[in-house]
A and B are shown apart, each in its own frame.
Chain A
């Protein structure tokens, strides 16, 4: 039973345009959401997070939007750069759970930004 889903395995975008990565979740106990970026042969790197009490969080070129009623979040990258090409993972945490800080990840979306 996959509680966090990234339904698009891949996304291809032109440099300078917007990249929109989507994520859906099913567990209503999740109250924190995070995005990680992963390059080949490296571990995931934390990008940005959002609490369930907010609907938007912005950090430079990265903005995460949360639609709690739809159990959906998205990561916007504007403008996209070739160096953004990586696998992006959505992750969620339930602070009321047995393991504070335990993350449930989606399958990842491969983003390719073309020059």
Chain B
């Protein structure tokens, strides 16, 4: 089974530019999560999709961040315009629907975003 795929793996952009991150979850996984780790700190929740619907977006920092999940398959996270504090590693994770919270996520390798 293919894992969670994220691309690009790295992105360096200038402040004020737009960047779009993509996540392809494991096929059949209806739950899709976005997390972010900034500067070696804790990994923070951004949002949760169930299929194409946003279940919880309480962790989204502000309205410069827009997440979508077309048709309940892959997801994109757009940052527009990017600010310096948006730098970090963005992780995507997926799980099947109906699995309990003790069922570990499968994480992607992350996208390292650097805003200069």
Contacts and interface: CB of A to CB of B under 8 A. Distances in A.
B58 interface: yes
Contacts, number: 79
Interface string A67-109: 0000000000000000000000101010100111111111110
Given A43-B107, A43-B108, A93-B101, A108 B42 contact: yes
A105 B104 contact: no
A44 B91 contact: yes
A66 B79 CA distance: 39
A15 B101 CA distance: 32
Contact of B101 (A32, A41, A44, A105): A32
Interface size bracket, A side: 20 to 34
Size class of the contact patch on chain B: 20 to 34
A106 B42 CA distance: 5
B35 to A, nearest CB: 8
B76 interface: no
Interface in B78-116: 91, 93, 95, 99-110
A43 B103 CA distance: 16
Interface in B19-62: 31, 33, 35, 40-45, 48, 55-56, 58
Contacts of B43: 44, 89, 91, 103, 105, 108
The 4 closest A-B pairs by CB, nearest first: A46-B104, A43-B107, A99-B56, A49-B102
